[in-house]
A and B are shown apart, each in its own frame.
Chain A
Amino acid sequence: KAGVTQTPRYLIKTRGQQVTLSCSPISGHRSVSWYQQTPGQGLQFLFEYFSETQRNKGNFPGRFSGRQFSNSRSEMNVSTLELGDSALYLCASSLGDRVQFFGPGTRLTVL
């Protein structure tokens, strides 16, 4: 089975721009979670989608949003980028037993 894939792998944006990241889960996995990882804050939960519905949401501003499609693929969007949004964004899929299968991540740099 193919693993979780994330595109793009690297991204450079400037402040004020917006960005969309994509995640394709493992086939058959209906839950997709997004995390932000920074050296200072560690791994922070953004949101989780299950069957196209947002099931959980972390403590992030409304600039961070996401969605899930009927094929379980998910996207997250960050609008009005700030320098502090520079991070590794990780997507993970699961079958629902809470074991997460992570993708390689998207490294976002905001200049």
Chain B
Amino acid sequence: SQQGEEDPQALSIQEGENATMNCSYKTSINNLQWYRQNSGRGLVHLILIRSNEREKHSGRLRVTLDTSKKSSSLLITASRAADTASYFCATGPLLPGNTPLVFGKGTRLSVIA
């Protein structure tokens, strides 16, 4: 069963606007990762945030993690048409050697030029 649940399921914005996607999870984690998938292709790793971190930046991406609420958010600033894709969160378990990453069902982002 999926642990990460992304919200919203779909998001449509204009180019230049910011996009925010949320992820909630159920059990304690070692880290949380965000991935992007262009239609019908493989996933691409975007960013990893560890359980002892609260915020992380990478270019136009900003990720926050609130372990007390078991939630994370991904902010894409100044979005571009090329950001159109599905975005997935994946939770890394406390014992990484024993259990796999668990992916959510994703948020489908459409950026309209």
Could you tell me which A residues sit within 8 Å of B by CB distance?
4, 33, 35, 42-43, 45, 48, 55-56, 58, 88, 90, 92, 96-105, 107
Q: Which of B12-20, B38-46, B54-62, B74-82 contacts A (4 or more CB under 8 A)?
A: B38-46
The verdict on A100 contacting B40 (CB below 8 Å), with A42-B2, A56-B98, A56-B100 known, is no
**B31, B43, B44, B97 — most chain A CB neighbours (10 Å):** B43
User: Closest chain B residue to A4 by CB distance?
Assistant: B42
Q: What is the total of A-B residue contacts with beta carbons within 8 Å? A: 60
Q: Indicate if B99 sits at the interface (CB-CB under 8 A).
A: yes
CA gap between A45 and B40 in the complex, in Å: 17
On chain B, the residues within 8 Å of A58 by CB distance are: 100
Q: How far is the CB of B28 from chain A (nearest CB, A)?
A: 15
By Cβ-Cβ distance, the 4 closest A-B pairs, closest first, are: A102-B42, A42-B105, A43-B103, A102-B43
On chain B, the residues within 8 Å of A97 by CB distance are: 96
On chain B, the residues within 8 Å of A33 by CB distance are: 100-101
In contact, B106 and A42 (Cβ under 8 angstroms): yes
On chain A, the residues within 8 Å of B48 by CB distance are: 99
CA gap between A9 and B51 in the complex, in Å: 36
User: Closest chain A residue to B48 by CB distance?
Assistant: A99
In contact, A98 and B31 (Cβ under 8 angstroms): yes
In contact, A45 and B45 (Cβ under 8 angstroms): no
Q: How far is the CB of A2 from chain B (nearest CB, A)?
A: 14
The contact of B42 among A45, A48, A90, by CB within 8 Å, is: A90
CA gap between A103 and B101 in the complex, in Å: 16
The verdict on A105 contacting B42 (CB below 8 Å), with A42-B103, A42-B104, A98-B101 known, is yes
On chain B, the residues within 8 Å of A105 by CB distance are: 40-42
